[in-house]
């Protein structure tokens, strides 16, 4: 069942990216009479690649900074920064990406940079809050033991806290990445190269076939990435999962 | 030897441990008994500096622990807590090996030590070693916790309610294990408990703690025979004190030369067990044998009754 899901998902995404012409019969009814059915102003493979690149450029720093903040505020010395860190992450999340684009274009110019900034800010909160929950969820008795056996604070973080928080941290990254994958489409309003280009082309030329093509492909990639993270989380969780539930009970 | 000098910890001006001075001899087990909030856990944690004292100091073998770097101090002191606090993402074997690993022992030596400890605690290394904590029973997890604390051969072992989460049968077994291991290793143990019976059973010395102070500190016999305060008397219990006293002493302490009929009693058995045997079989003297069944002499009812009598007021 899951194998079938993977085959369908990978097959569908691959076909949409590499052989868009295959879908012409399906999309034909949505295109205006006589108009183009398949987007051909750029290859979908190229757009997909730069779409993924946008997301990567935003998510790597977003993850690093959100994780660093979560680690900082869970240290005794950094506890007082919790409200500040929370506020920062919240502002990032509540400020609409479109508004970030509009405000940052005058400063950063058109294209990739404002888009990456918008995605970066939007991604901070889920990663931060999940990492925080993960780090705080480490049972007190385990932390006490780690101190009592003579671990340094760094050893505690690396050997105990991070591995135990990892499933939740990955969960946060997954949420942010999936949101970023769909949100990246609006980057094309400020001329960033992304799959949004196809959707916007469809909107401006009144061609729903383009909108569907761009939308479905973006959706497929998002679901695929979601599932890949699911595997990672499962792997991170395997030895510890039930143990944590028990030691809390 | 552990020496505690005027040790004090205050939280928000309120003393939790209030100027305690005491000395725990090398190789003995001291049981600190008290109800929750008495400060017993705080006192224990000041020994390995999980809690820093507000005043006073702790000396281990003459060395002020405040001068030993926290990390190396703790690596040299075993610590067992009630929930065991096993690392849930590590196997039992890796949990046991954590301090040797931190100390940088070679892998082969860690493995050998882990196996040795599992054997000592009567666990099969091949079966239990690769298990994760959630795959262990309560009794097994408790033993892994003890093994982890003993891994780097510490001179001092601190135990905070180590048997609190076990059901009564397994608790008995775990207490016997502790007695056996302690005899084998000669480790100095400080154990915190709220259970006076456990303290009387395990302790060479007992400290009764209340409101951050030691109400009484002495051998179990003194605690039972002459409770220093009503609180101590209350903990010991008013009834059955004579029998409790007799339960503390082995038959070997009242040995006499002579002959007696019937089944013998082991010299290591308690006087209360010997008395029960006398009542049950209607005898007034029992032959005493050592662990190998060799006759040592006799124990008489009169001697036992005298040993259980209240001490004359001083």
B83: Cα separation from own chain's centroid: 17
Closest-approach residue (CA) in chain A for B69: A150
Q: How far is it, in rounded angstroms, from Cα B144 to Cα B80?
A: 10
A and B: number of Cβ contacts within 8 A: 76
**Residue A150, SS3?**
coil
User: Mind listing the pLDDT tens digit for each residue in B137-147?
Assistant: 999 999 999 99
CA distances from A57 to A37, A49, A177, A181, A186 (A): 32, 12, 11, 12, 16
Residue % of chain B over a pLDDT of 70: 98
pLDDT of res. A247 = 45
Least confident of A66-80, B78-92, B227-241: B227-241
Cβ-nearest to A240 among B79, B81, B89 = B89
Q: pLDDT value at position B313?
A: 53
**pLDDT value at residue B30:** 96
Least confident of A45-59, B36-50, B159-173: B159-173
Residue B167's pLDDT is: 86
Q: Is A237 on the interface with B (CB under 8 A)?
A: no
> pLDDT tens for residues A154-165?
999 999 999 999
**Inter-chain contact B48–A148, Cβ cutoff 8 Å?**
yes
**B96 vs B143: CA distance, rounded Å:** 10
Average pLDDT over residues A122-145: 94
pLDDT band at A245 (very low <50, low <70, confident <90, very high): very low
The pTM (predicted TM-score) of the whole model is: 0.83
> Quick one: pLDDT band at residue A243, thresholds 50, 70, 90?
very low
The pLDDT confidence band at residue A2, using thresholds 50, 70 and 90, is confident
Q: What is the mean pLDDT of chain B?
A: 91
pLDDT in tens, B1-11: 999 999 999 99
Phi, psi of B160 (to 5 degrees): -110, 105
Inform me whether the C-beta atom of residue B170 falls under 8 Å from chain A C-beta atoms.
no
User: What is the predicted pLDDT for the residue at A239?
Assistant: 65
Length of chain B: 314
Cα–Cα distance list, B155 to A62, A232, B26 (Å): 48, 43, 9
**All domains of chain A in start order, with CATH:** 41-221 (1.10.3720.10)
Instruction: Answer yes or no: is pLDDT of B31 > 90.
Output: yes
Q: Is the pLDDT of residue A140 over 80?
A: yes
Half-sphere exposure of A215 (CA within 13 A, CB side): 12
Q: How confident is residue B108, by pLDDT bands cut at 50, 70 and 90?
A: very high
Identify the band that residue A241 occupies on the pLDDT scale cut at 50, 70 and 90: very low
Which of A148, A156, A163 is the best mutation test for B, with the most CBs of B within 10 A? A148
Distance CA A195, CA A215 (A): 8
Residue B166 has pLDDT above 70, yes or no: yes
* Residue A137 touches partner B, C-beta closer than 8 Å: no
Radius of gyration of chain A (CA): 21
Partner B, chain A 33-72, Cβ-Cβ below 8 Å: none
* Interface subset of B 82-111, CB within 8 angstroms of A: 82-90, 98-99, 102
Q: Are B53 and B23 in contact (CB under 8 A)?
A: no
What mean pLDDT do residues B106-120 have?
94
**Is A12 exposed, middle or buried, given 0-12, 13-18 or 19+ CB atoms closer than 10 A?**
middle
Q: Do B71 and A163 touch (CB under 8 A)?
A: no
Q: What pLDDT was estimated at residue A91?
A: 85
All structural domains of chain B, each given as residue ranges with its CATH number in brackets, are 2-238 (3.40.50.300), 242-307 (3.90.1280.20)
The alpha carbon of residue A233 is apart from the nearest alpha carbon of chain B, in Å, by 14
- Tell me what percent of the residues of chain A surpass a pLDDT of 70: 95
Q: What is the pLDDT of residue B225?
A: 85
Of the pLDDT bands very low, low, confident and very high (cuts 50, 70, 90), residue A224 is: very high
Give the phi and the psi of residue A127 in degrees, each rounded to 5: -70, -45
State the alpha helices, DSSP H only, in A19-96: 24-27, 44-73, 82-94
| 8 Å CB contact of A150 and B88 | no
pLDDT of residue B183: 85
Distance from CA of A142 to the nearest CA of B (A): 4
ipTM rounded to 2 decimals? 0.83
pLDDT in tens, B248-277: 888 888 888 888 888 898 888 888 889 988
Confidence bin at A34 (pLDDT 50/70/90): confident
The pLDDT of residue A1? 57
Partners of residue B72 in chain A, C-beta under 8 Å = 150
Give the pLDDT band (50/70/90) at residue B91. Answer: very high
Whether the predicted pLDDT of B222 surpasses 70: yes
Among A150, A155, A164, the strongest candidate for a mutation testing the B interface, having the largest count of B CBs within 10 A, is A150
Q: What is the pLDDT of residues B47-76, one digit of tens each?
A: 999 999 999 999 999 999 999 999 999 999
């Amino acid at each position: 069942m899951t194998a079938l899901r993977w085959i369908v998902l990978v097959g569908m995404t691959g076909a949409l990216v590499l052989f868009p012409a295959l879908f012409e019969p399906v999309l034909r009814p949505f295109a205006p009479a006589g108009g183009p059915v398949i987007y051909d102003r750029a290859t979908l493979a190229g757009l997909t690649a730069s779409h993924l690149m946008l997301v990567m450029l935003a998510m790597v720093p977003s993850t690093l900074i959100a994780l660093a903040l979560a680690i900082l505020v869970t240290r005794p010395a950094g506890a007082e920064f919790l409200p500040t860190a929370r506020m920062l992450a919240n502002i990032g999340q509540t400020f609409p990406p479109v508004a970030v684009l509009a405000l940052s274009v005058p400063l950063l110019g058109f294209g990739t940079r404002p888009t990456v900034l918008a995605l970066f800010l939007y991604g901070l909160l889920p990663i931060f809050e999940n990492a925080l929950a993960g780090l705080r969820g480490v049972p007190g008795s385990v932390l006490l033991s780690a101190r009592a056996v003579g671990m340094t604070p760094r050893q505690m973080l690396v050997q105990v806290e991070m591995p135990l928080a990892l499933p939740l941290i990955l969960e946060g990254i997954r949420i942010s990445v999936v949101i970023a994958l769909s949100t990246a489409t609006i980057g094309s309003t400020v001329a960033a190269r992304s799959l949004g280009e196809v959707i916007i082309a469809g909107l401006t030329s009144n061609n729903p076939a383009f909108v569907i093509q761009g939308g479905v492909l973006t959706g497929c990639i998002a679901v695929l990435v979601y599932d890949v993270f699911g595997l990672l989380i499962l792997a991170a969780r395997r030895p510890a999962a039930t143990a944590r539930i028990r030691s809390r009970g | 030897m552990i020496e505690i000098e005027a040790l004090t910890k205050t939280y928000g001006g309120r003393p939790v441990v209030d100027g305690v001075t005491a000395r725990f001899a090398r190789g003995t087990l001291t049981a600190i008994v008290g109800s929750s909030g008495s400060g017993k856990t705080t006192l224990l944690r000041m020994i390995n500096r999980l809690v820093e004292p507000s005043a006073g100091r702790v000396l281990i073998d003459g060395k002020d622990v405040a001068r030993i770097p926290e990390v190396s101090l703790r690596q040299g002191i075993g610590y067992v807590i009630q929930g065991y606090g096993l690392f849930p993402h590590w196997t039992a074997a890796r949990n046991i090996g954590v301090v040797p690993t931190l100390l940088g022992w070679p892998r082969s030596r860690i493995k050998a030590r882990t196996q040795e400890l599992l054997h000592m605690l009567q666990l099969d290394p091949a079966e239990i070693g690769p298990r994760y904590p959630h795959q262990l029973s309560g009794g097994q997890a408790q033993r892994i916790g003890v093994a982890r604390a003993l891994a780097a051969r510490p001179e001092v072992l601190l135990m905070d309610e180590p048997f609190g989460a076990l059901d009564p049968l397994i608790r008995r077994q775990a207490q016997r294990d502790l007695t056996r291991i302690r005899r084998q290793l000669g480790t100095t143990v400080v154990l915190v408990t709220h259970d006076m019976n456990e303290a009387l059973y395990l302790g060479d010395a007992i400290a009764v703690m209340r409101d951050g102070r030691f109400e009484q500190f002495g051998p179990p016999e003194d605690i039972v025979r002459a409770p220093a305060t009503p609180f101590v008397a209350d903990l010991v219990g008013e009834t059955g004190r004579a029998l409790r006293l007799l339960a503390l002493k082995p038959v070997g302490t009242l040995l006499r030369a002579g002959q007696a009929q019937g089944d013998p009693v082991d010299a290591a058995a308690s006087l209360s067990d010997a008395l029960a045997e006398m009542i049950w079989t209607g005898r007034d003297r029992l032959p005493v044998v050592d662990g190998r069944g060799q006759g040592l002499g006799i124990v008489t009812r009169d001697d036992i009754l005298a040993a259980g009598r209240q001490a004359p007021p001083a």
